[in-house]
């Protein structure tokens, strides 16, 4: 269960510091152990944290026991100027001019330390005051708390270099009275220095100013030493509590690289923080109970910092000036950490671009290139998701090839995406203008809007990948709702272009290599696999064949091909080979492979056969595809074929199987000629 925010860390810290100065560090450990408080000394000394009333009283009781002094809590309160009272508060109180003015404002000061009590000033004169102090209903009154309060009251004249006040306490809430009533009396300040006896040797204001300066210097060092923004924001709020003691704090900083504001709060319910952040960053009024200062440097305005009081409570004096001093250090530290982060980001981006170049050079094909590019885009551009879509000229559409998304499930969804110009005006515009586009989901065409919504994307920068006059596709960098940079056409687009240029070169190279590989492994006339690729596929099929299935090869040789060449010319012969190729493709099964081995010789790989009869059945299908004459130069030319069948046997290799099919084809040709 979370601690109730009822007692300021200034109070708990003051107790710890008094025990430490009186009895040493081991006594502090004993104090925390006896109080049974689940917190460290550093946590109890943190002025931005608040604790329950129960924790406060248990610490008071434990301190009394550890020190062995029944009146320890009066002494803790009386020593607050040295050990517990915030220097900023001392300075504020000193500016009021006299003890009388301070006692008049004291009820407002109480809110900085406790939410469980109410103080009233019944009377305040030049050298005396009557204070009524009441613990709220539901809390058990403690004499230790009462003595601590008396000790604090005695220090007010000391702030003005006067002797401590005398306290007369005849009505105590522990004795059944409705409230504690304190009669406070102090000496009048003498104008003659030699008549000021019993006054402190060190001016409390000077002591507070020195302490405040040390804290400011320490805050600057502490903030600059922060390793990341989240740590720094937490430290800013912690340090703000040393400037202005308040029940709650709110810090909202604009995200340096786009996206939602960076927020850190203390003492506020989570459900109210978003609304307060919106009001705070908009510069609107948070009410009389708020001390609000800008977190800004000469370079940039980062955001705003607020110390917030409960409804009905108000700040004391010029607390905004004190809070602004810390906010100034915070802004300078934010400038530094943002600059360092920008250097790290640029170094990371430069490294990513160099790595991208190496990986693209090693990428073996188009799919690998697309994967390398989408992996690099979030690092280089700073987007949350990215994709590459390539243009398919045969289908006339843009098809997804690779993507990266915080939700891996969406990558599989995107893999099925395709965009047609007739359905997507944005694509039509890009095909004609070849210029980058910045798209917003809300204003996109219906098809694109549906795709972006499906992918959880609100804003996209689309870069066309163009090689010369050839449109290859697009690379995209995208952001979800609230993540977008303010400016998507500046550095973001420049970095995207840097990746896009490398991607375009790599895709050109890959397609050139694919063309060269295709030419090296395919017949230029028919587009069928040549002898080299055919044998490679045959080796693969033999290695992958299941024990219960057969692999067969059909070897085909055209009848009367030489006659066609001699009588009608080579152009007609080439056209005949192309038509034969088309008929063979139509005759085979989806998993079969047909290749042109040389001249008028074709071969077909038939994997996954149940028996030799299945091979003969497929051979008959091939023979029948030559029943119809071929049309060459407007004439019907009958051309037949001879087919040889070979079925793989254990121990035989691909070349053996092909030779057997070739021999069977010649036997078939000889039988047909007799």
Report how far residue 137's alpha carbon sits from residue 408's, in angstroms, rounded to the nearest whole number. Answer: 56
The CATH number of whichever domain residue 184 belongs to comes to 3.90.1520.10
Whether the predicted pLDDT of 524 surpasses 70: yes
Whether residue 183 sits in one domain with residue 47? yes
Find, among 473, 457, 476, the residue nearest to 465 by Cα: 473
Whether residue 544 sits in one domain with residue 510? no
Which residue bears the tokens 């010789």? Answer: 601
In a domain, 454, yes or no: yes
Report how far residue 382's alpha carbon sits from residue 111's, in angstroms, rounded to the nearest whole number. Answer: 46
pLDDT grade, residue 407 (50/70/90)?
A: confident
Neighbours of 432 (CB within 10 A): 10
Name the 3-class secondary structure at 415: coil
The CATH number of whichever domain residue 383 belongs to comes to 3.30.450.40
Whether residue 668 sits in one domain with residue 570? yes
Whether residue 617 sits in one domain with residue 497? no
Find, among 60, 61, 67, 37, the residue nearest to 49 by Cα: 37
Residue that is last in its domain, among 491, 518, 545: 518
Residue that is last in its domain, among 518, 542, 564: 518
Report how far residue 304's alpha carbon sits from residue 178's, in angstroms, rounded to the nearest whole number. Answer: 43
Whether the predicted pLDDT of 93 surpasses 80: no
In a domain, 347, yes or no: no
- Tokens at residue 468, please? 């010369």
pLDDT digits (tens, 9 = 90+) for 323-371: 887 777 777 777 777 777 766 777 777 777 788 888 888 888 889 999 9
Handedness of CA 503, 509, 512, 513 (dihedral sign): negative
**Mutual angle of helices 366-381 and 319-362, in 10-degree steps:** 160
Whether residue 448 sits in one domain with residue 551? no
The CATH number of whichever domain residue 628 belongs to comes to 3.30.70.270
Report how far residue 288's alpha carbon sits from residue 306's, in angstroms, rounded to the nearest whole number. Answer: 12
Residue that is last in its domain, among 462, 483, 518: 518
In a domain, 88, yes or no: yes
- Tokens at residue 241, please? 């509590």
- Tokens at residue 201, please? 């040797």
Adjacent-strand bridge partners of 130: 123, 183
Q: According to the model, what pLDDT value does residue 194 have?
A: 43
Whether the predicted pLDDT of 54 surpasses 90: yes
Q: According to the model, what pLDDT value does residue 87 have?
A: 52
Whether residue 648 sits in one domain with residue 570? yes
Find, among 161, 241, 148, the residue nearest to 207 by Cα: 161
Whether residue 234 sits in one domain with residue 108? no
3-state helix, strand, coil in the chain (%, to 5): 50, 20, 30
- For 335, counting Cβ atoms within 10 Å of its Cβ (0-12 exposed, 13-18 middle, 19+ buried), the class is middle
Whether the predicted pLDDT of 175 surpasses 90: yes
Which residue bears the tokens 């003498």? Answer: 190
Q: According to the model, what pLDDT value does residue 195 have?
A: 43
Whether the predicted pLDDT of 141 surpasses 70: yes
DSSP conformational letter for 171: E
Per cent of the chain over pLDDT 70 is 87
Residue-range definition of the domain harbouring residue 145:
7-188
Handedness of CA 315, 320, 322, 328 (dihedral sign): positive
Q: What is the DSSP string of 503-547?
A: HHHHHHHHHHHHHHHHHHHB-TTT--B-HHHHHHHHHHHHHH--T
> Residues 6 or more apart from 665 whose CB is under 8 A from it?
555, 556, 557, 642, 643, 644
Whether the predicted pLDDT of 31 surpasses 90: yes
Report how far residue 149's alpha carbon sits from residue 74's, in angstroms, rounded to the nearest whole number. Answer: 7
Report how far residue 312's alpha carbon sits from residue 331's, in angstroms, rounded to the nearest whole number. Answer: 31
Whether residue 437 sits in one domain with residue 292? no
pLDDT digits (tens, 9 = 90+) for 461-510: 999 999 888 899 999 999 887 776 556 666 788 888 888 888 898 888 88
Whether the predicted pLDDT of 411 surpasses 90: no
DSSP conformational letter for 486: S
- For strand 593-598 and strand 397-404, is the pairing parallel, antiparallel, or unpaired? unpaired
- Tokens at residue 674, please? 């007799």
As a whole number, mean pLDDT of residues 565-572 equals 91
In a domain, 351, yes or no: no
Adjacent-strand bridge partners of 385: 478
Whether the predicted pLDDT of 571 surpasses 80: yes
DSSP conformational letter for 195: G
Residues 109/86, Cβ–Cβ less than 8 Å = no
pLDDT digits (tens, 9 = 90+) for 202-244: 455 444 444 544 554 454 455 445 556 677 777 777 767 666 7
Residues 181/215, Cβ–Cβ less than 8 Å = no
DSSP conformational letter for 114: B
Residues 537/593, Cβ–Cβ less than 8 Å = yes
pLDDT grade, residue 86 (50/70/90)?
A: low
Whether residue 582 sits in one domain with residue 457? no
In a domain, 1, yes or no: no
Find, among 306, 335, 309, the residue nearest to 323 by Cα: 306
Whether residue 459 sits in one domain with residue 595? no
Per cent of the chain over pLDDT 90 is 39
Report how far residue 386's alpha carbon sits from residue 374's, in angstroms, rounded to the nearest whole number. Answer: 6
In a domain, 345, yes or no: no
Total domains, the chain: 4
Neighbours of 650 (CB within 10 A): 4
Report how far residue 407's alpha carbon sits from residue 60's, in angstroms, rounded to the nearest whole number. Answer: 52
> Chain-centre distance of CA 514, in angstroms?
38
Report how far residue 323's alpha carbon sits from residue 300's, in angstroms, rounded to the nearest whole number. Answer: 18
In a domain, 196, yes or no: no
- Tokens at residue 246, please? 């308040």
Residues 414/455, Cβ–Cβ less than 8 Å = yes
DSSP conformational letter for 368: H
Which residue bears the tokens 């004499």? Answer: 143
pLDDT digits (tens, 9 = 90+) for 146-171: 999 999 899 888 878 889 999 999 99
Q: According to the model, what pLDDT value does residue 198 have?
A: 47
Report how far residue 510's alpha carbon sits from residue 517's, in angstroms, rounded to the nearest whole number. Answer: 10
Whether residue 649 sits in one domain with residue 579? yes
> Chain-centre distance of CA 152, in angstroms?
48
Neighbours of 470 (CB within 10 A): 13
**Mutual angle of helices 570-587 and 612-624, in 10-degree steps:** 140
Report how far residue 667's alpha carbon sits from residue 671's, in angstroms, rounded to the nearest whole number. Answer: 6
- For strand 418-419 and strand 437-440, is the pairing parallel, antiparallel, or unpaired? unpaired
Q: What is the largest CA-CA distance in the chain?
A: 147
In a domain, 623, yes or no: yes
Q: According to the model, what pLDDT value does residue 226 have?
A: 55
Lowest mean pLDDT among 229-238, 361-370, 448-457, 608-617: 229-238
Whether residue 155 sits in one domain with residue 12? yes
Q: CB-hemisphere CA count at 13 Å for 9?
A: 25
Lowest mean pLDDT among 70-79, 296-305, 309-318, 440-449: 309-318
Residues 514/438, Cβ–Cβ less than 8 Å = no
More confident call, 8 vs 190: 8
Q: According to the model, what pLDDT value does residue 223 have?
A: 47
Residues 601/520, Cβ–Cβ less than 8 Å = no
More confident call, 152 vs 517: 152
């Amino acid at each position: 269960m979370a601690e109730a925010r009822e007692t300021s860390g200034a109070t708990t810290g003051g107790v710890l510091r008094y025990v430490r100065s009186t009895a040493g560090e081991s006594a502090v450990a004993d104090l925390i152990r006896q109080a049974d408080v689940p917190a460290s000394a550093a946590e109890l000394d943190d002025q931005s944290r608040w604790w329950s009333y129960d924790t406060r009283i248990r610490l008071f009781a434990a301190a009394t026991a550890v020190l062995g002094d029944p009146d320890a809590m009066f002494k803790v309160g009386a020593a607050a100027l040295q050990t517990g009272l915030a220097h900023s508060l001392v300075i504020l109180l000193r500016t009021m001019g006299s003890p009388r003015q301070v006692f008049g404002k004291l009820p407002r000061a109480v809110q900085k330390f406790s939410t469980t009590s109410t103080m009233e000033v019944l009377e305040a004169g030049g050298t005396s005051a009557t204070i009524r102090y009441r613990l709220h209903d539901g809390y058990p009154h403690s004499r230790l708390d009462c003595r601590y309060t008396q000790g604090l009251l005695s220090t007010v004249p000391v702030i003005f270099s006067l002797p401590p006040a005398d306290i007369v306490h005849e009505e105590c809430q522990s004795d059944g009275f409705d409230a504690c009533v304190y009669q406070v009396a102090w000496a009048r300040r003498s104008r003659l220095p030699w008549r000021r006896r019993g006054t402190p040797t060190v001016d409390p204001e000077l002591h507070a100013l020195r302490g405040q300066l040390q804290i400011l210097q320490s805050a600057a060092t502490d903030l600059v030493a922060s390793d990341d923004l989240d740590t720094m924001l937490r430290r800013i709020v912690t340090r703000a509590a040393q400037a202005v003691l308040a029940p709650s704090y709110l810090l909202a900083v604009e995200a340096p690289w786009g996206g939602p504001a960076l927020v850190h709060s203390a003492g506020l319910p989570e459900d109210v923080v978003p609304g307060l952040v919106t009001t705070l960053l908009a510069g609107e009024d948070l009410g009389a109970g708020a001390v609000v200062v800008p977190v800004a440097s000469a370079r940039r305005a980062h955001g705003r910092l607020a110390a917030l009081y409960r409804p009905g409570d108000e700040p004391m004096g010029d607390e905004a000036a004190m809070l602004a001093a810390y906010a100034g250090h915070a802004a300078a530290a934010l400038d530094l950490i943002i600059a360092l982060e920008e250097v790290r980001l640029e170094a990371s981006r430069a490294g990513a671009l160099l790595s991208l170049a190496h990986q693209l050079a090693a990428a073996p094909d188009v799919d690998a290139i697309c994967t390398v590019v989408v992996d690099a885009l979030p690092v280089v551009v700073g987007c949350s998701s990215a994709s590459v879509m390539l243009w398919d000229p045969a289908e006339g559409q843009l098809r997804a090839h690779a993507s990266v998304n915080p939700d891996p499930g969406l990558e599989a969804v995107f893999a099925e995406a395709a965009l047609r110009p007739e359905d997507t005006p944005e694509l039509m515009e890009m095909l004609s203008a070849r210029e980058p586009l910045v798209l917003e989901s809300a204003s996109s065409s219906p098809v694109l809007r549906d795709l972006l919504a499906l992918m959880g994307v609100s804003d996209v920068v689309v870069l066309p990948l163009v090689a010369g006059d050839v449109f290859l596709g697009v690379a995209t960098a995208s952001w979800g709702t609230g993540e977008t940079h303010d400016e998507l056409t500046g550095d973001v687009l420049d970095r995207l272009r840097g990746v896009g240029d490398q991607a375009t070169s790599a895709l050109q190279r890959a397609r050139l290599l694919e063309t060269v590989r295709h030419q090296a492994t395919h017949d230029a006339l028919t587009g069928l696999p040549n002898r080299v690729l055919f044998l490679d596929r045959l080796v693969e099929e033999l290695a992958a064949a299941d024990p219960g299935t057969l692999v067969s090869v059909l070897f085909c040789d055209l009848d009367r091909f030489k006659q066609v060449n001699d009588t009608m010319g080579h152009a007609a012969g080439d056209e005949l080979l192309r038509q034969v190729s088309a008929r063979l493709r139509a005759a085979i099964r989806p998993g079969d492979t047909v290749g042109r081995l040389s001249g008028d010789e074709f071969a077909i790989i038939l994997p996954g056969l149940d028996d030799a009869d299945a091979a003969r059945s497929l051979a008959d299908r091939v023979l029948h595809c030559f029943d119809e004459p071929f049309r060459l130069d407007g004439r019907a030319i009958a051309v037949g074929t001879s087919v040889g069948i070979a079925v793989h046997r254990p121990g035989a290799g691909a070349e053996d199987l092909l030779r057997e099919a070739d021999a069977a084809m010649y036997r078939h040709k000889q039988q047909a000629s007799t």
